[in-house]
Structure 1
Amino acid sequence: MKKLIIFDLDGTLAESKAAIDEEMGTILGNLLTVARVAIISGGDWPQFEKQVLAHLPKGSLKRLSILPTCGTKYYTYKQGWKQLYAENFTDEEKKLIIQSLNEAVDASGYKAKKTWGEQIEDRGSQVTYSALGQQAPLDQKKKWDPDFAKRKEIKKTLDKTLKAFSVQMGGATSIDITKPGIDKAYGIRKLKTVLDIKISEMIFIGDALFEGGNDHPARKTGVACIQVRDPEETKRVVEGISVCLGFKTRKNSNIISG
């Protein structure tokens, strides 16, 4: 029996930087009645508050774990949200990463001509490069690198210049850099310890489980993985999981049946 369902956020539960919609909020709320849920994403804590937490049923939060910045931070709910850990960079590490990112982008020839907001964001335990900027419109982001080809070229350079770090692609236009070994696999192992749940009792759902994608490290743990195309496919997958775990709906309704 599966006890913990783990999700990526952008591209899996919601469109990039967008809030989960009402249907997804209901589906996740239903899932939380029959299983624990965790979300591991490259976004930082404020992103989770806006994209997810503000749109979930309030009574379900005790069964939810939040792991921002690819698992480099961990938040749990106990009479309010509490941070359990944060694997932050030193100032010297941040300086090296930012310099290497700028050089790799310049060398790739894929430097964006137009950007919306800052391209490089310091998230404490993660540095994230967003090719079109943090505030880029979703339609522009979707067509910039749909097959990840541009970011794969940038990543090739970073894998050489930042050998002491983990470099992964995620979202629609981003590259996430964390400390070595501090990735979604690390987060999953933390969940195993903190929640006392076996890897065999977990499922991970994400849209970037391919080699180089920021969900791919999850595979290293041996967790059962489900690749999805987008949030709409995630909804159908989660509905099936909820039914298998014992969730029942009223006829013609997604309302919890008591």
Structure 2
Amino acid sequence: MLVSDLDGTLAESKSDLTKEMSGAIAELLKFKKFAVIGGGSYAQFQKQFVAHLDCPQELLSNLYLFPTCATAFYVFEGGKWKEVYVEELSAEEKQRIVEAFHVALEKSGVEMPGSTYGEQIEDRRTQITFSALGQQAPLELKSKWDPDKAKRNLIKRYMDEIIPEFEVNIGGTNSIDVTKKGIDKAYGIRKIMSRFSYAAYELLFVGDALFVGGNDYPVTKTGVDCVKVEGPKDTMRLFSKIASASRQ
């Protein structure tokens, strides 16, 4: 079974799935189960990924969606997407996280961008996400703000001190994701292994944020083989090799 990150792996940050990637995934779905675990909300998954995935409906039964870093899980049954679980944050937890962001940003001394595009702190039901340039910022600008992740690592350090009862991970190009303690991409991997009775060696995870502090990093602790990619083009090359091997 293949498990993949979304932003920076299958598509550029908050960008639509390309026709080429859609074709590659559709081909893989003929041979393998395929799960997507990303930091975006379920609505973002539908808009960015599902809406641009061109494949026969019968193959969608092999596709599994884990939005907001696996805090939610959806399967395709009876011609529609169905919710398996949602680890929703309470109103009090959300408030605690938002307040922590304000304190961490001030303590870190990280200079914020002069202009923002949309909300900087977004409530994704099961996850609170901070995006320095705002949720709708152009990819070109997002990529330049914190390319070495030094700014976000500093903010994360303060967040870890302020709210140790939550998971805090770096995601995307200018984001930090916060979820309930123990609910991260490793949690999603364990859910997959439990649901399908898979051993770790039967899964392969593909992601661009496998570095310490990245939101893909927790997967490295599950025993699952992980492949770090530099972007969608790199992922396409990997998928082509896997598809070729599967046809033989």
**Are positions 1:7 and 2:21 aligned together?**
no
The aligned counterpart of 2:63 is 64
The whole-number CA distance in structure 1 between the counterparts of 2:116 and 2:52 is: 29
The whole-number CA distance in structure 2 between the counterparts of 1:245 and 1:129 is: 40
Deviation at 1:109, TM superposition (A): 2.4
What is the identity, as a one-letter code, of the residue corresponding to 1:38? A
What is the identity, as a one-letter code, of the residue corresponding to 1:172? T
Query: Residue 245 of structure 1 aligns to a residue in which SS?
Result: helix
What is the identity, as a one-letter code, of the residue corresponding to 1:31? L
Deviation at 1:196, TM superposition (A): 2.5
Aligned residues: 244
**Are positions 1:19 and 2:10 aligned together?**
no
Deviation at 1:69, TM superposition (A): 0.5
Deviation at 1:246, TM superposition (A): 2.3
* 1:153-192 to 2 correspondences below 5 Å: 153-192=154-193
The aligned counterpart of 1:212 is 213
The aligned counterpart of 2:44 is 47
Query: Residue 187 of structure 1 aligns to a residue in which SS?
Result: helix
What is the identity, as a one-letter code, of the residue corresponding to 2:56? K
The whole-number CA distance in structure 2 between the counterparts of 1:233 and 1:66 is: 22
Deviation at 1:74, TM superposition (A): 0.2
The whole-number CA distance in structure 2 between the counterparts of 1:64 and 1:239 is: 18
The whole-number CA distance in structure 1 between the counterparts of 2:147 and 2:56 is: 35
**Are positions 1:77 and 2:76 aligned together?**
yes
Query: Residue 151 of structure 1 aligns to a residue in which SS?
Result: helix
The whole-number CA distance in structure 1 between the counterparts of 2:17 and 2:141 is: 20
The whole-number CA distance in structure 2 between the counterparts of 1:127 and 1:84 is: 21
The whole-number CA distance in structure 1 between the counterparts of 2:36 and 2:145 is: 26
Gaps of 5+ in 2: none
The aligned counterpart of 2:99 is 99
The aligned counterpart of 2:90 is 90
**Are positions 1:123 and 2:120 aligned together?**
no
**Are positions 1:231 and 2:232 aligned together?**
yes
Deviations 1:25-49 (A, max 9, x none): 0000001011000000110111111
The aligned counterpart of 2:196 is 195
Deviation at 1:103, TM superposition (A): 1.3
What is the identity, as a one-letter code, of the residue corresponding to 2:14? K
Deviations 1:9-40 (A, max 9, x none): 00000010001100000000001011000000
Deviation larger for 45-54 or 103-112 = 103-112
The whole-number CA distance in structure 2 between the counterparts of 1:206 and 1:156 is: 23
Query: Residue 166 of structure 1 aligns to a residue in which SS?
Result: strand
The whole-number CA distance in structure 1 between the counterparts of 2:73 and 2:205 is: 17
Deviation at 1:209, TM superposition (A): 0.3
Gaps of 5+ in 1: 248-258
**Amino-acid identity (%):** 47
TM-score (norm 2): 0.96
The whole-number CA distance in structure 2 between the counterparts of 1:19 and 1:199 is: 30
CA-based RMSD of the aligned residues comes to: 1.0
Query: Residue 157 of structure 1 aligns to a residue in which SS?
Result: helix
The whole-number CA distance in structure 2 between the counterparts of 1:208 and 1:72 is: 18
Deviation at 1:195, TM superposition (A): 2.3
What is the identity, as a one-letter code, of the residue corresponding to 2:148? D
The whole-number CA distance in structure 2 between the counterparts of 1:242 and 1:29 is: 10
What is the identity, as a one-letter code, of the residue corresponding to 1:26? G
What is the identity, as a one-letter code, of the residue corresponding to 1:109? G
The whole-number CA distance in structure 2 between the counterparts of 1:213 and 1:7 is: 14
Query: Residue 247 of structure 2 aligns to a residue in which SS?
Result: coil
Q: Where does structure 1 differ by over 3 angstroms across 4 or more consecutive aligned residues?
A: none
